[in-house]
Amino acid sequence: MSGKSMSGADTVIQVLADEGVDTIFGYSGGAILPIYDAVFRYNDKNKRADGSAAIPLIVPANEQGAGFMAAGYARASGKVGVLMVTSGPGATNTVTPVRDSMADSVPLVVICGQVPTVAIGTDAFQEAPVTAIMGAVAKHVFLVTDAAQLEKTIRSAFDLARTGRPGPVVIDIPKDIQNWAGTFKGHGTLPLHGYRKRLRAITENKLSDDACERFYTMLSKSERPLIYAGGGVINANASKVMRQFAKEYGVPVTTTLMALGASDTNHPLALHMLGMHGVASANYAVEDCDFLIAIGARFDDRVAGNPARFAPRAKNIAQFDVDSAEIGKVKRVDWHHVGILNAALTDILEYGRSIKFDKTFETWHEEIAALKSEYAMNYDRNSDLIQPYAVIEEINKHSKGEAIISTGVGQHQMWAAQYFDFREPRLWLTSGSMGTMGFGLPAAIGAQFARPDKVVIDIDGDASIRMNIGELETATTYNQPVKVIVLNNRGDGMVRQWQKLYFNGRMSGSDKSLHAKDFVKSAEADGFKFAKRLDSKEDIPAMIRAFMDFKGPAFLEVIIDQDAGVYPMVGPGQSYENMITGDFIKSRSKPSDDTPGASEMF
């Protein structure tokens, strides 16, 4: 297309096509209409082999839903998710998905329509100060005022979104820029000298032999090494080489909430998730390890509740990350490397092979096996009420660690993290750092577009799904076979759990939650042919089988034990030795009486 004259709107779509975009999520409006028309005309001329549009435009119930669909697409595929909205409220409705993606390092390009350049600052109809608003929550924001720079700006946005530490990039395009006509170059990006210099420094920062030698000296002196893997491993597509390193040297792996799937949870040396609601065996392994190897992990408060007492027996801590700001930010480390994780882990592995590093950790492996056996996850299996854990275990028998699991935020999120298996990365989609209720359903729909070959299941709560319940209709409109399950405990379960523990059982605003909705009728009204309610424990196996076997969108509401809690639990600001394991998971230490105060609630 180089040398062809085209409008700004057509330029935007052509660059998206050149970048390999195959799906756009968005909602229309006056200030974005030229670009929306360009999408229509492009798809009218360009078809896939099956006759469908080359770049389908998926229209949800609202812009927040579109944002989370784009994020779900990006998380499941590893590609940049694309979101396209109009000015004013269209843009402001995407603030939460943009911040959510920034917090979890998810690559998005958000294209916002804007009022004409001459009207900016006049409080024109549907005008919002997008650069000011988004500048605080995005990786970068562009306001295009020079039409000749539009093509380079769109291309640069993709570069920024997926390189270094991934994140969302917002492009605000005034309507007159969209209507401008000029020559399409077909190449070129903005200089961005500072960013490219920093990126080049990270990319070119290779591990020296001296650094590798110091790392292996620490490993050779260790008897209980442990890999602590964070979401950066998945974002960097470094799971394969990390697994190879762990396998080659027999180093057990525990992952954060965001890194589930980086290590195959069925592997004997996989310890599943650590942290505030991590499994007991993983947290105890962190307590016992003498060499902690943090890879793409940032020692956040949900993991290192009390940094000074986190990994207390670790004589050495090593940290790999792509972001220099994370090194030593929370926990002092003895060795670190800032660089591309894939390259760094490959170099470490190759160096170990070159020096024929050979040390076995059989005793540690036996201790790991004992921890996993003695402190296994468990719950009240004799209760007459439906236990949420049992429902997830039953689904897991069908999914076998190979389905994409999306969640809302709350107790159901933690139960899903604890009881599902994950055989590979990008199967676990959840709002980690922001903890955004309403994430699960739209993210699942976005993931289904990204991975039509996969079973996609949204594990949601009755409170969380309400936030974006309008997207049920999006699933059926586009005939996406997502499976939606609502674990209904009639209220904000996680908030109630904290109120019971730390607020003397005063259920302020949590047990008076909305109760009138008939979720099954809602799903039926939105076109779900499979929409059922499970309220009997004896019916769990048969109902779950029918739910999983149904071809097409399926909805299941499960009435669970209202008092079911999330255990283990490490109180805010406390160490793993104070972990509360509940009545059905063994504990090797007595919980502390030093409970956090109300100001430390979350």
The set of catalytic residues is 63, 125-126, 175, 494
Question: Is 317 in a helix, a strand, or coil?
Answer: strand
First to last CA, the chain: 53
| Greatest extent of the chain over all pairs of C-alpha atoms, in Å | 73
Would you list the DSSP string of 489-538? -SS-HHHHHHHHHHSTT--TTTTT------HHHHHHHTT-SEEEEE--GG
Residue among 285, 295, 299 nearest 332 (CA): 299
Residue among 283, 301, 274, 340 nearest 103 (CA): 301
**What's the CA angle centered on 568, arms 566 and 569, to 5 degrees?**
80
Q: Tell whether the torsion through CA atoms of 585, 588, 594 and 597 is positive or negative.
A: negative
**What's the CA angle centered on 245, arms 243 and 248, to 5 degrees?**
105
**What's the CA angle centered on 65, arms 516 and 445, to 5 degrees?**
95
* H helix intervals, 222-299: 231-235, 239-249, 280-288
Calpha distance 23→496 (Å, rounded): 39
Beta carbons of 103 and 42 less than 8 angstroms apart? no
Would you list the DSSP string of 339-387? S-HHHHHHHHHHHHHHTT-----HHHHHHHHHHHHHT-----TT-SSPP
Would you list the DSSP string of 221-239? H-SSEEEEE-HHHHHTT-H
Calpha distance 558→457 (Å, rounded): 14
Q: Which amino acid is at 372?
A: K
Environment class of 295 (CB within 10 Å of its CB; exposed 0-12, middle 13-18, buried 19+):
buried
Calpha distance 288→268 (Å, rounded): 18
Beta carbons of 300 and 330 less than 8 angstroms apart? yes
